[in-house]
Chains A and B, each alone.
Chain A
Amino acid sequence: MNELAPALLSSDRPICLAILAMGGQGGGVLADWIVALAEAQGFHVQSTSVPGVAQRTGATIYYIELLKGGGAVPVLSLMPTPGEVDVVIAAELMEGGRAMLRGLVTPDRTTLIASTHRSLSVSEKSAPGDGAGDPNMVALAAGIAARRVIAFDMQAMAEAARSMISATLFGALAGADSLPFPRAAFEGAIRAGGKGVEPSLRAFAAGFEAAAAPQAPASLRRAPEKIYAAASPTGHAALDALLTRIRTAFAEPVQPMLLEGVRRLVDYQDPDYATDYLDRVASFSARDPLPDRAVSLAAAKYIAVAMAYDDVIRVADLKTRASRFQRVRGEMGVPAVQPMATTEFMHPRGEEAVGLLPARIGTSILARPWLFRVIDRIVNRPRRMRTTAILDFLMLYAVAGRRSHRRGTLRHQEEMAHIVSWLARAEQVLPANPRLAAEILATRRLVKGYSDTHARGGAKFDRVLSAVPLLEPRADGADWLRRLREAALADEAGTLLDGALRTVASLDIPASATFPDT
C-alpha cells in the first residue's frame, strides 16, 4: 500500500544563515537588514532568535533561512542544524569559536565571517594574572572547520566609520558574495531601515571591500609585541654613563631589558638609583651559567620592577605630569581647548602616611600602636583629588616633590629589606640550581597592587617561595616553581595554589639530580 516517491519531492533547499553576537552588538539589526534585503529581492525569508532577557550582555544567536520565491510557501526551520549552515556570522572572535563548538561550521558548506576583535568575558578579565584566551586556537580551528573564512577586525572598522559592527558585518556578508544579491540591494536594505544611514553605509563599504579582497589566513596575536627602547646617546653624562655600562659590562641578550630597567628607575628616582640597580643585576649576571641568560634576564626585569615599587610619591608624580594630562585628553578624545576636569579616587591609609615619613620616625610610630591608630583615623578615608584644580594639584605636586627624600622613608627601607631577602634566596640556590634561581626572581610578579591586594600578593609570594627548599634538589624544580606561580595567578583566593603546593609537598625527592643545561 505504500507508494514510494509518488509526489516528486522538490530538491530546493533554503540558504541557512546563523548570526552569533553578544547583546548590544546589533545582531537584531543585522538580522532585520537581511530579512528586508531578501524580501525586497522576492525571497521567502524567516528569522528567529532566542534573545532572552533584556540585558545587554550574554551570547545570543539569530537564525535566518532564505528561499527563492515563486513556488509554494515553504516550511522553514526555526533553528540551525549542525552541518546544514551555509553562512555563520560571528560578531566577536570567541563567538566564532562558539559557532564551531556547536557544529554550525562545517568544511563542506560553511562560510565563516568573523570579526577578529576580542571582547573579553568576565572569567577572562577577572583572573589576577592574564586570563585571556588564545585567539590563535580559534583561527586555527576556523581554517579546518570552515569551507571559507573571512576574518578581520570589523569592530575597529565600524568605530572608524563611527557606526556599529552590525554594518561592517553586513558589508562583509555582501563582499563575501555568499548571498545571491547585488551590493546595491544590501545598501538598499540599510537605506530602507532609515536609522544612521550614512555611518552605516560607510561601515558597510569598509566591510565589503575587506571581505571582497583576497584573504590572507588570519594570524592573531594574544598580546602586542613588547617594544624595547633604542639605546641612543642622550648627551647627558650620567645617563650616557649608564648606557655605556650596560653595553660593556653585560651580555648582549640582556641589554635591551637592562635599558628598560634603567629608563624606568631614572624616571622613578634618579641615575644613582639606576646605578644601584645595575649593581644588583650584575651580582647575578656575573654568575649566570645558563647559555640563554635566563637568570640575568629575570634579574634585569624583576629587580627593576621591585625597585620601582608603587608608593604615594610615585602615584602623585605620575598623576601630575603634563604628559599624563595630554594622554587623558587623547583617551577621552577631547581637544586641548575644551574645558575638562579630572578627579582621582584615592584612599590613603595610615600605612601610606607613615611610610612617607623618615624611617626612624616611622619605625617609632609603628612601635606605638595607639599612635598609629590615631594617625590612621585621621588619614584613612577616601579622598577625591581634582588634579585639574590648583589646590588639589598643589597637594599632589608637593607629595610628588618628596621624591628626592624617598630613600630616607620608612617605606623605602621596608621595600629594600624585602628585595635583599628575596635576592638572597635566589643567590643561595643559584650555584646549585640556576633555573630555579631565575624562577625565584620571576616570582616577584606576584607582588603587585595596593593595600589588601598588595598584602594578598605578598602572602602568595611567600607561600610560593616556601616550596623552594623542597624544589632546590630537583632538576625540574624550576618547572614546579613556575607552575606554582601560574596557579597563584589563576584565582584570587589562592585555591589552585593550595592544591599545587600540596602536590609539590607530595613529590618524591629524586636520589640524584642532574642539571642538563649547566
Chain B
Amino acid sequence: MAERSFAREVQDLKLGAGEIFRGEGILAITKALLQSGVGYVGGYQGAPISHLMDVLADARDVLDELDVHFESSASEAAAAAMMSASVMYPIRGAVTWKSTAGTNVASDALSNLASGGVMGGALIVIGEDYGEGSSIMQERTHAFAMKSQIWLMDPRPNLPSIVAAVEAGFELSEASSTPVMLEVRIRACHVHGSFVARDNRKPAFPLEEALAHPARDTGRIVLPPASFLQEKEKIERRWPAAVDFIRDRRLNEHFGPKNAEIGLVVQGGMFNATLRALQQLGLADVYGESLVSIYVLNVTYPLVPDEVIAFAMGRRAVLVIEESQPEFIEQAIATILRRADVNTKLGGKDVLPMAGEYTAEVLLRGLTAFIEAHDRRLLGNAPPVPDARTILAHPSVAALAKVVPPRPAGFCTGCPERPIFAAMKLVEQELGPRHVAADIGCHLFSILPPFEIGATTMGYGLGPASASAFNITEGGQDNRPISVMGDGGFWHNGLTSSIGNAVFNKQDGVILVVDNFYSAATGGQDILSSRALNRFRTTQNSIAKAVRGIGVTWVRQVDRTYDVAKMRAVLREALTTKTGGPKVIVASSECMLNKQRRTRPALAAARKAGKRQVVERFGVDEDVCTGDHACIRLSGCPSLSIKHTTDPLRDDPVAVIDETCVGCGNCGEVAEAAVLCPSFYRADVVHNPTAIDRLLFRVRSRVIAWLQARRAASRVVFPA
C-alpha cells in the first residue's frame, strides 16, 4: 500500500444527502463520481489528480459497498482501454490522468473509443497540467477533444460547479453516445472549498449483469466499413445531440447584464481570474456582479452556435478569454459569426498573450486594451489598479534577483537515487563525459545541480529508447551512452518500448533502472515491483527477472544503492565490458520518504516500549573539514549544508549536517569512494541498551579516556 494514509478523506466519501463536504477539488470530483452511480474507475497517478487514485485505493470498503470496481491502471492507455466496458453496456465509468502527458499515452484507446461511441456515460477526468507548478510540456488537451470528437468540459473552478459538471458530464456522454473529458487545472484540483453532498448511488447496471449477458455489435468495432459509418455518425448524430443537450441543460452560463455593449466569452476555468481582473477595473464585484456581459463556456467543445450568435449579436465587441494556444475557441467563434454574418468585433489573442498562464494580472492588461478600444467610458471611474511595477523597479528590490537563489525540487534527504548519480559523476570523472538519456520520475532531478547529468527526456519509460540512435558503438568501446529509467516508467511501458526494443535491436548501451519500490514522484503508489504486500494488488515482481525474461543477458542487480563504490564498479563494468547487447543495471533501494513514513511510527513505538534500537546519524568534524564543499557537489542533500565559523583563521564556511539527517550513509560512502576527506563520521546511538551494551560501553570508554588523559598530560597547549 502507499505509505500515506487517506483514511480521513475516505470518510468524506461517505457523506450523505445534505451534509457539507469540505476539501480539495480533486476529492470533490471523487465524491461526485460515487454520487453519479459510476460502475468502474481507473487511471494513472500524477499531479494534479494523484489524490483521486490514492483515496479510492484506500476506500475499498466504500467501493465494495457501492459495487464500484477500481483499478490502478498500468498506464493511461490501460485506463482508457478500460472504458470499453461502456461501449456495449449502459455502465458509467470514469478514468483519470495528468494531461497532456497521459492523454498522449491514452490516445490509441481514446480514438477507438470515440470512433465506436459509448452507451454508458464515459468520463475522463483530465488534470490539465498547464502554468505555474506544472511538470510537463505545455500543451492543450483541447486538440485531442477536437480530433477525436470527444466533448470537453471546463467548469468554473469552485466545488459546486465542478461537482455539477461531473454529474452533467455522464448525462452528456449518454445523450450523445460520446466520451466526455472533464478538464480541471492544477489550482482547481487543489482548491479548498465546500459543496452540499448527495447520497452515493450504486450503478444502475452492474458489471456482473454485463458478464452474464454479453453483447456485441460489429457496428461499434473500428473496422471498415463500420469505421466510415462511425465517422459520419459522429457528425450527423452525436454532435447535434451534444449541442442540444448543452443548450437544453444550460451547461454554459451567463453573468452580468444581458445587453452591455461589450461581452466576454470565457472558458469556465478562467472565470475567477477574469472576474478578479474586472473587479480591479471597477467593473465587477466579488459576488459575481458585473457591468459587462459574460458568457461562460463550461463546455468548451463543442460550442453551441446559436448561443454564441445570440451572445455576440448586437454588441459592439466580444472578447474570447482562452488560455494557451492555438486559439481553437476563438477561431471556431470567428467561423460561427462569419457564417451567420454577425459583424460584432471579435477580440482574443490580439490583446491577450498567445502562450502562458492567464493570471488576473495578465487578464487585467488584456481587458484594459480591449475595453479601451471598444467601450472606453467603462473605464471612466476605474479605481487605481493593483500594480507592483513601481516597487519592482526600485533598485533594492530589483537587486534581489542576484541573491535569491533558484530552488527547484530535488532529491529528498536520504534519497537512494543520490548515491546512484554520485557514482555516475565519479565514473564520468574517470571515463569521461558521455551521452546520458534521462526519463520521467524523481531521477530526472539528476539534470539539476549539483549532478547535472542527463541530456534529454522523451517521455515516460522511453529513456533507453531515446538513446537507440546511438547504437553504433561496438562491444568494449568506452563512449557507450547510458540511459536512465525509473521503476514507474519501466512498468508503464519501458519493459517493451525500451528494454525489448534494445534487445531486439542489439543495442550496445547501458540501461540503468532506478528501482525505489514505489511510483515515488507521483506520491508513493504501489507498482508491480513494490516490495510491500498489498491485499488487492500483486506486488514483488522482480524487475531483473522481467528484464532477463525479455532477453537481456547482461543484468546486474544492486540491492543497496548507497554502496557508492559498488555502484561505480558496476557502472564501470557495464561501460567497459566486451559483451554486446544491452547492459541493464537494476539499482534498488527504498524511497526514503516512503520508508520514513513506513518505519518511523513503528520505531518510535518500539523505542517507547523499551526495545533496543540503534539510530544512525552523520556528522562533520568541523576542524577536519577544510571548507572546499566537494562533498556537497556530490550530494546536494538538504540536510548537508554549510556553516560560517567564528575561527579567524578560516575564510570559507565548513560543511555541517543538521538534525534532519536520516543516516542513509551517502556522505560516508561518497567520501570513501571519491577519496574526499575524513571529516565525516557516523554516530550510532543505542537506545534502550542491554546490559552487555552498557558493560562494553563502560569498559571502552574507560580505556579510551585513560589514553586520552595520558596524551593530554604530555601536551603543551594554551588554555581554551
Contact = CB atoms under 8 A, between A and B. Distances in A.
A130 interface: yes
A345 B285 contact: no
B470 interface: no
Contact of A81 (B260, B280, B282, B680): B280
Nearest to B689: A339
Contact of A123 (B279, B412, B449, B645): B449
Interface in A9-31: 9-14, 22-24, 31
Contact of A107 (B385, B391, B705): B391
Nearest to A144: B396
Interface string B664-704: 00011101111111101111111101000110110011011
A48 B671 contact: no
A332 B683 contact: yes
Contact of A343 (B260, B681, B701): B681
Interface string A465-506: 000000000000000000000000100100000000000000
B700 A388 contact: yes
B400 A3 contact: no
A334 B619 CA distance: 13
A407 interface: no
Contact of A22 (B285, B407, B680, B681): B407
Contacts of A140: 396
Given A56-B638, A141-B396, A341 B684 contact: yes
B689 A78 contact: no
Contacts of B285: 9-12
B360 A81 contact: yes
Contacts of B291: 4-6, 9
Interface string B273-301: 10110011011111111010000000000
A100 B621 CA distance: 38
Given A97-B404, A145-B394, A345 B449 contact: no
A266 B628 contact: no
A123 B405 contact: yes
Nearest to B702: A390
Interface in B609-651: 617, 619, 621, 623-624, 626-630, 632-633, 636, 638, 640-642, 644-649, 651
Contact of A47 (B188, B192, B442, B629): B192
A77 interface: yes
B520 interface: yes
Interface string A72-106: 11111111011110000000001101101101111
Given A5-B291, A12-B287, A347-B672, 4 more contacts: A47-B191, A50-B186, A82-B361, A319-B621
B633 A126 contact: yes
B133 A51 contact: yes
B214 interface: no
Given A22-B407, A121-B405, A339 B697 contact: yes
Interface in A109-163: 119-130, 132-134, 137-138, 140-141, 144-145
Nearest to B614: A341
Interface stretch (A256-264, A283-291, A428-436): A256-264
A457 interface: yes
B23 to A, nearest CB: 10
B420 to A, nearest CB: 16
B190 interface: yes
A401 B711 CA distance: 8
Contacts of A213: none
Given A82-B387, A492-B630, A261 B399 contact: no
B648 A137 contact: no
B601 interface: no
Contacts of A138: 400, 403-404
Contacts, number: 428
Contacts of B673: 382
A390 to B, nearest CB: 5
Contacts of B717: 266-267
29 contacts: A2-B261, A12-B287, A23-B409, A47-B192, A52-B409, A54-B442, A55-B412, A56-B593, A56-B638, A58-B407, A81-B276, A81-B361, A101-B397, A103-B388, A121-B407, A122-B449, A127-B629, A128-B629, A132-B653, A138-B403, A140-B396, A145-B396, A224-B644, A260-B649, A263-B718, A318-B621, A322-B709, A339-B689, A445-B651
Interface in A325-368: 325, 328, 331-334, 338-347, 349
A218 to B, nearest CB: 14
Could you say which interface size class chain A belongs to?
35 or more
B648 A226 contact: yes
Contacts of B170: none
B279 to A, nearest CB: 8
**Max chain B C-beta neighbours (<10 A), residue from A97, A129, A341, A400:** A341
Contacts of A387: 681
Nearest to A49: B190
Contact of B626 (A58, A83, A449): A449
B373 interface: no
A18 to B, nearest CB: 13
A426 to B, nearest CB: 17
A245 B126 CA distance: 79
A47 B188 CA distance: 10
A310 interface: yes
B238 interface: no
Interface stretch (B302-310, B457-465, B521-529): B521-529
A184 interface: no
A489 B630 CA distance: 12
A144 B273 contact: no
A380 to B, nearest CB: 8
B401 interface: yes
Contact of B675 (A305, A341, A451): A451
A398 B675 CA distance: 22
Interface stretch (A168-176, A234-242, A415-423, A507-515): A234-242
Contact of B287 (A72, A125, A384): A72
Nearest to B160: A73
A332 B683 CA distance: 8
A180 interface: no
B668 A345 contact: yes
B700 A105 contact: no
A59 interface: yes
Contacts of B409: 23, 52-53, 55, 57-58
B432 interface: no
A450 B683 contact: no
The 6 closest A-B CB pairs, nearest first, are: A50-B133, A103-B388, A83-B386, A58-B409, A223-B644, A82-B388
Contact of A74 (B287, B394, B704): B287
